[in-house]
Amino acid sequence: MFACVFSLTVSRLRTRLSLVAGTLLFGLALTTGMAGAATLPPFTVAVISLASDPRYASRQLERAYPEHPGGRVLDAARMAVEDSAMELQEEGVVLKLRDVQLADAQALPKVLAELKLARVQHIIADLPPEVLSALVQQAPTALNGAMVLNVSSDSDALRNEACSGAMLHTYPSRQMLTDSLAQYLAARNWRKLLLLQGPLPADQLQAAAMVSSAKRYGLKILQTKPFKLSGDPRERDLFNTRLLTNEREHDVVAVMDSHGEFARTLPYATQWPRPVLGSSGLMAMAWHPQWERNGGPQISRRFQKLSNRPMQSQDWAAWIALKAVVAGLVGNPKADISQQLKQLRGGELFVDGNKGPRLSFRSWDGQLRQPVLLGHGDGIVGLAPLEGVLHPTEVMDTLGMDQKESKCRMRP
Amino acid sequence: MFKVFTNSRQSRICSLRSLLGMFACRSLSATVLAFALGATTARAVPANRVYVSSEKDNKIYVFDTQGQRVSAIDVCQRPRHMMFNADHSQIYVCCGDGNALGLVDTVSGKMTGSLPLDNSPEIFGLSPDGKIVYATIEDDSIMGAYDLQSKKKLFEVKVGGEPEGILVMPDGKHAYVTSEVANVVHYIDLTARKIVKNIRVGTRPRRFALTPDGKELWVSNELSANVSIVSTADQKVIHTIKFKIKGIRDTDITPVGMTLGADGKSVWVGLGKANHVAELDVATREVRKTVLVGKRAWGLAPHPDGKTLYVTNGMSDDMTLVDVVGGKAIRTVPVGRVPHSVLVQP
């Protein structure tokens, strides 16, 4: 529910205060602006996350597993509001942010009722798949039409059988991430994989995506082995990194570990000198603070300045999500939410994500097509789609579910 | 300022007139400076030169007009946009990581001083009298104005995110600035020091070219694969030129650099990821030809004789010499890492 319900930690309070200040400043800038008098009522975008999201527990943040979020995405949304100020001012549009931290999915009806009163129709969702699913089912009715932008879930199901016409995804799907890795491996001719899979449901989903990407790009998974975090000598074949990797034939070790603790122990700890990829080592990511092309340093620097931490993939996804909201409003701020959704999913509107090409949403599942960075903690070694990968119409659609494979039948 | 060639003269004069003492000696420096400048203009500017800034080598590489490497000049960190001063005795080079404008003496082939700018400057323009530098400052989203003589910042104007291209009108009263994030061109009144109008153009607008009559401002839109033409009379977009290249998808055509052709009748545009440059006809607004060059072609400059165009290829670390009439690449020569801009001295 709304933040005031919860006891505020000092840092959260600071965020909120600066947000209020940001909104105020933004309002001032508008009143002193020289063009486009604000005639429209202000638009409010809600940024919804879970109050007690374990990803944001302080100890968890301290571990800083690669590709896990580095903090809540509100700052990234704020940055996008600041970036868009001038463009919105021209349209006479005022955009505000509202930070909403839910207790759980049960709290949704009440929260949505409050958002309706505040005339909110745009939601940036930083939620686990099950809560996101509940939100996207309830929001369109509760808010009289809604646009939900998923900025942190990689769930393939939410983009296929469980998709929604009201949802857009700016975070890459798991299939996009594993396709990117597979393209890289195929381009290097590192075709034989040992797949290590953790016990969590998310690990299984990652492994399933990796298997289908391997098939797509002609890679061979020689063996799939389960791993487990343990110190029990009776099951050491499940956790000892040398025992797990002692066959010689594989070129690379792909580790599917949504939790991150096991994967962290694997690079340089294998029996044979083999690169590690997946949840550590070489990883596929939406953003990396060391991306130095296409104006990358500019947004990374702006984010660091605003948030005192490096920009991560989830931050990039939230930033570009808000820019997509802006793209939907600019040019036709009076369009209703379903028109905005149709335009965005129709591929007529583009956003600039500082990753090279202009980006648009796929009409079939609402996924933002985008280049995926391939890198490690230290830097970037490649960009998917890899050079030489071909597609009849749009090469970025070689990542993730293409139109013909998509199981999504929902349209806005 | 002008350290190398003023200091020696200054010290000599100071020692000659030691009776005057330090104070008087300092007060002389302006006179000495003027003398030194006069001396510079009297010295011949080296002819037959092409200068290329290399973002990652912190150098300006010097070639002859045939593309033979002559020398290299050490400059400030991450040199990008360059301009000659009026008599070409100096090159001003904007250093993105050095946060300064490097002052390069073309005769001695050395950087002789610098003008401090703000964080991450990219492109700049000069006032008609050559005294004021107007630079786009990427990190602070401002256009800054700096005095070359006093080396002081004069003022700044807040603009949209990631400002890049800048063009100061010949009368010095207005400037145009692109904002890559806000997708607008700002029309700035330099006297009132404020934005007069925001002109909505394409996605990620980058650079400018002004037609010789001063009536049309051409703007490259990197992510819309087109060029917007803005009327400088009423600040409205009056036309859009879309690029199409056979065998290349729209999303791979990313126009950035622009320059007027030597005769002023055409505009050349670097098409970035498409690895081509295009020649546009100013009168008919049509694409005359496209020429295959190197990877991520951004910077370009024509030889005043109208025969050759020099194109810097940022991702293949080289420069392509294009035969303007024949519409073909003549040769491509290696430059240092990430070449940005190019200047030609016939």
Q: Give pLDDT, residue B43.
A: 75
Closest by CA position to B159, among listed B187, B121, B117, B125 = B187
Supply A178's token pair: 């594993």
* pLDDT tens per residue across span A334-389: 899 999 999 999 988 999 999 999 999 999 999 999 999 999 988 999 999 999 99
Query: Exposure of A393 by Cβ count < 10 A (0-12 exposed, 13-18 middle, 19+ buried)?
Result: exposed
State the smallest CA–CA distance between residue A172 and chain B in angstroms.
20
| Mean pLDDT computed over A201-206 | 97
Is the pLDDT at A30 greater than 50, yes or no? no
- Are B161 and B11 spatial neighbours (Cβ–Cβ below 8 Å)? no
Q: Is residue A37 within 8 angstroms of chain B, CB to CB?
A: no
Q: What is the DSSP code (8-state) at residue A219?
A: -
The SS3 of residue B301 is strand
- Are A137 and A127 spatial neighbours (Cβ–Cβ below 8 Å)? no
Here the ipTM equals 0.76
List per-residue pLDDT tens for chain B, 346 residues long.
333 333 333 333 333 333 333 444 444 444 444 444 444 445 789 999 999 999 999 999 999 999 999 999 999 999 999 999 999 999 999 999 999 999 999 999 999 999 999 999 999 999 999 999 999 999 999 999 999 999 999 999 999 999 999 999 999 999 999 999 999 999 999 999 999 999 999 999 999 999 999 999 999 999 999 999 999 999 999 999 999 999 999 889 999 999 999 999 999 999 999 999 999 999 999 999 999 999 999 999 999 999 999 999 999 999 999 999 999 999 999 999 999 999 999 9
Amino acid occupying residue B199 = I
Residues A295, B180: C-beta atoms closer than 8 Å: yes
> What angle, rounded to 10 degrees, do the helices at A108-117 and A129-142 form?
40
Q: B161 contacts in A (CB within 8 Å)?
A: 82-83, 86, 298, 302
Q: Give pLDDT, residue A88.
A: 87
Q: B184 contacts in A (CB within 8 Å)?
A: 86-87, 90
Q: A332 contacts in B (CB within 8 Å)?
A: none
Q: A87 contacts in B (CB within 8 Å)?
A: 160, 181-184
Distances from the Cα of A121 to the Cα of A52, A148, A232, A283, B315, angstroms: 24, 8, 52, 35, 43
CATH number of A43-172+287-372: 3.40.50.2300
Please tell us whether the domain made up of A176-285 is placed in CATH 3.40.50.2300: yes
Q: Is residue A357 within 8 angstroms of chain B, CB to CB?
A: yes
Query: Exposure of A333 by Cβ count < 10 A (0-12 exposed, 13-18 middle, 19+ buried)?
Result: middle
Residues A298, B179: C-beta atoms closer than 8 Å: no
Taking one residue from A and the other from B, the number of pairs with CB-CB distance under 8 angstroms is 63
Closest Cα in chain B to A84: B182
Q: Give pLDDT, residue B42.
A: 56
Query: What does pTM read for this prediction?
Result: 0.83
Q: Is residue A350 within 8 angstroms of chain B, CB to CB?
A: yes
Q: Give the residue from A26, A84, A86 with the most B CB atoms within 10 Å of its CB, the best one to mutate.
A: A86
Q: A43-172+287-372 and A176-285: same fold?
A: yes
**Structural domain boundaries in chain A:** 43-172+287-372, 176-285
DSSP conformation letters of A52-120: T-GGGSHHHHHH--TTS-SS-THHHHHHHHHHHHHHHHHHT--EEEEEEEES-GGGHHHHHHHHHHTT-
| Mean pLDDT computed over A279-293 | 97
Least confident of A16-25, A33-42, A223-232, B103-112: A16-25
Q: Is residue A356 within 8 angstroms of chain B, CB to CB?
A: yes
